[in-house]
């Protein structure tokens, strides 16, 4: 089976053809070879498929919020060709047995390529180490959705010492969160949800956790991936450690980059996420850190909940928001307006996640690599509408926002999976950690 993408515009402006044979990029350059299928990019920008290192597809156990079919369709509609899925399921993915079961459940049903995390508890280190094929180990240092939690930093130390895959942290200090939440309990009656949530989970808890993690890394120099950095204080701690050569990788989410307390005060619980949306000045310093090259990856933290769940009172509403269908459009829009280039976008959203997580032969358009490719309509301006979306939850904090730059076609393992707003392929996604 062969496919050719004609008239593709590379990020350096060159027009080229990409020839694909049996799912692999076999030739780049103007080609006269005849292919079984032809897709004309008509001079549109062509970039590697996005690797989203942080999603929650809610399977098993919470398929009423999202299931693998809807989540993986949403992914390819958003230009994402590989997702790394988190372990806070029901039951949580914390044993080799549950990990293998989840892997079997997904096999053959996914429109997008995937890797799966295994989740840390305070006493499952042997399970973590024996989960062959896990893309990473997830540690929740502060309680969030799903009940996974590690309070004891000695456990983090032991996991890092023995880990053979990336260790990823939700970095908010639980003791600090508890102290603040007890003291501020009455605040729940005042202010907007965004203001209350930021006050209940302030910057200082993220800073405290950052300092403790850096102290551990000074002893054990193993790679540590920090999920969703959200504030300048936290960034400063991690950046000074990075500058001293410690192997820290920082992820930012589009919601922390493009939403703040001031611009989302009408959204109530729909902007309730952990760590919280911060102030406008925090948002701008995160954007600057991205422009300066201090942020390694962009993760959607796609974490759907139903509209009913979000309409409950602040105390009863779960944290998290969907984001996989808006991650690439928002970043393309940012790349138009700021000193953030398409090359920067490719580095953070394709090359870096592949390198950090050891995903082989993906994250670049290169001969011999899997043909995971997105053709982009860089000049298409559209208002974000939830009725065009594939996520089951049916809402987006970015609905109503005008964005320029959307995926035109998504190619997964050489198959055209999404074209002009429609899913056209089959569930041909593969486990990126499965070794042939
Ligand atoms: Zn998450």
Confidence at residue 147, expressed as pLDDT on a 0 to 100 scale = 73
Q: Which residues keep their CB under 5 angstroms from ion ligand 1? A: 301
Q: Would 309 be classed as within a structural domain? A: yes
* Residue 54 CA, ligand 1 centroid: distance in Å: 6
Q: Would 34 be classed as within a structural domain? A: no
Is the confidence at residue 62, as pLDDT, over 90?
Answer: yes
* Residue 2 CA, ligand 1 centroid: distance in Å: 38
Report, as an integer, the average pLDDT of 103-111. Answer: 97
* Residue 32 CA, ligand 1 centroid: distance in Å: 46
Residue range 4-54, pLDDT digits in tens? 999 999 999 999 999 999 999 999 998 777 899 999 999 999 999 999 999
Is the confidence at residue 386, as pLDDT, over 90?
Answer: yes
Report, as an integer, the average pLDDT of 406-434. Answer: 97
Q: Would 248 be classed as within a structural domain? A: yes
SS (H, E, C) the chain: CEEEEEEEECCCCCEEEEEEECCEEEEECCCCCCCCEEEECCCCEEEECEEEEEECCCCCCCCCCCCHHHHHHHHHHCCEEEEEECCCCCCCCCCHHHHHHHHHHHCCCCCCEEEEEEECCCCCHHHHHHCCCCCEEEEECCCCCCCCCCCCHHHHHHHHHHCCCEEEEECCCHHHHHHHHHHCHHHHHCCCHHHHHHHHCCHHHHHHHHHHHHHHHHHCCCCEEECCCCCHHHHHHHHHHHHCCCCEEEEECHHHHHCCCCCCCCCHHHHCCCCCCCCHHHHHHHHHHHHCCCCCEECCCECCCCHHHHCCCHHHCCCCECCCCCHHHHHHHHHHHCCCCHHHHHHHHHHHHHHHHCCCCCCCCCCCCECCEEEEEEEEEEECCHHHCCCCCCCCCCCCCEEEEEEEEEEECCEEEEECCEECCCCCCCECCCCC
Average pLDDT across the chain, whole number? 95
Q: Would 308 be classed as within a structural domain? A: yes
Report, as an integer, the average pLDDT of 170-189. Answer: 84
* Residue 144 CA, ligand 1 centroid: distance in Å: 9
Confidence at residue 436, expressed as pLDDT on a 0 to 100 scale = 46
Q: Residue 342 is part of which domain span?
A: 49-357
Q: Would 12 be classed as within a structural domain? A: no
Q: Would 39 be classed as within a structural domain? A: no
pLDDT more than 70, % of the chain: 99
Q: Would 252 be classed as within a structural domain? A: yes
Residue range 311-331, pLDDT digits in tens? 999 989 999 999 999 999 999
* Residue 413 CA, ligand 1 centroid: distance in Å: 26
Residue 182's pLDDT band (boundaries 50, 70, 90)?
confident
Q: How many domains would you assign to the chain?
A: 1
Report, as an integer, the average pLDDT of 394-400. Answer: 97
Specify whether 301 is catalytic: yes
Residue range 183-212, pLDDT digits in tens? 876 666 678 999 999 999 999 999 999 999
pLDDT more than 90, % of the chain: 92
Residue range 219-255, pLDDT digits in tens? 999 999 999 999 999 999 999 999 999 999 999 999 9
Q: Which of 17, 52, 198, 301 is catalytic?
A: 301
Confidence at residue 186, expressed as pLDDT on a 0 to 100 scale = 67
* Residue 272 CA, ligand 1 centroid: distance in Å: 13
Q: Would 9 be classed as within a structural domain? A: no
Please tell me whether the overall predicted TM-score, pTM, comes out greater than 0.85 for this model.
yes
Residue 387's pLDDT band (boundaries 50, 70, 90)?
very high
CATH number at residue 214: 3.20.20.140
């Amino acid at each position: 089976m062969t496919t050719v993408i004609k008239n593709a515009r590379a990020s350096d402006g060159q027009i080229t053809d990409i020839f694909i044979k049996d799912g692999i990029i076999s030739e780049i350059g103007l080609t006269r070879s005849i292919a079984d299928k032809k897709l004309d990019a008509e001079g549109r920008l062509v970039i590697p498929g996005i690797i989203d290192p942080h999603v929650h597809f809610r399977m098993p156990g919470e398929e009423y919020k999202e299931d693998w079919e809807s989540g993986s369709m949403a992914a390819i509609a958003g230009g994402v060709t590989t997702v790394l899925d988190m372990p806070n399921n029901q039951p949580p993915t914390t044993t080799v047995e549950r990990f293998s079961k989840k892997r079997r459940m997904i096999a053959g049903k996914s429109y997008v390529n995937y890797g799966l995390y295994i989740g840390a508890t305070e006493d499952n280190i042997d399970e973590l180490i024996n989960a062959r094929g896990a893309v990473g180990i997830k540690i929740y240092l502060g309680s969030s959705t799903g009940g996974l939690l590690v309070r004891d930093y000695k456990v983090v130390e032991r996991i890092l010492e023995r880990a053979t895959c990336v260790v990823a942290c939700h970095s908010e200090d639980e003791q600090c969160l508890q102290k603040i939440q007890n003291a501020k309990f009455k605040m729940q009656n005042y202010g907007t949800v965004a203001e209350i949530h930021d006050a209940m989970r302030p910057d200082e808890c993220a800073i405290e956790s950052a300092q403790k993690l850096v102290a551990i890394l000074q002893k054990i120099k193993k790679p540590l991936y920090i999920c969703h950095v959200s504030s300048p204080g936290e960034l400063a701690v991690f950046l000074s450690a990075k500058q001293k050569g410690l192997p820290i990788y920082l992820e930012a989410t589009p919601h922390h980059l493009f939403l703040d307390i001031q611009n989302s005060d009408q959204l109530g619980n729909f902007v309730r996420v952990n760590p919280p949306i911060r102030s406008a000045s925090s948002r701008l310093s995160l954007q600057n850190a991205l422009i300066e090259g201090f942020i390694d990856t962009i993760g959607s933290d796609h974490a759907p909940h139903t509209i009913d769940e979000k309409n409950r009172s602040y105390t009863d509403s779960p944290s998290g928001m969907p984001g996989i269908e808006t991650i690439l459009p928002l970043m393309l829009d940012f790349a138009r307006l700021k000193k953030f280039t398409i090359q920067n976008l490719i580095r953070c959203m394709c090359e870096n996640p592949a390198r950090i997580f050891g995903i082989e032969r993906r994250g670049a358009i290169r001969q011999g690599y899997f043909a995971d490719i997105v053709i982009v309509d860089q000049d298409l301006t559209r208002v974000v509408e939830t009725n065009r979306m594939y996520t089951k939850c049916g809402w987006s904090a970015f609905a109503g926002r005008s964005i320029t730059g959307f995926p035109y076609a998504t190619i997964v393992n050489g198959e055209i999976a999404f074209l002009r707003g429609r899913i056209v392929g089959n569930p041909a996604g593969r486990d990126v950690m499965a070794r042939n």
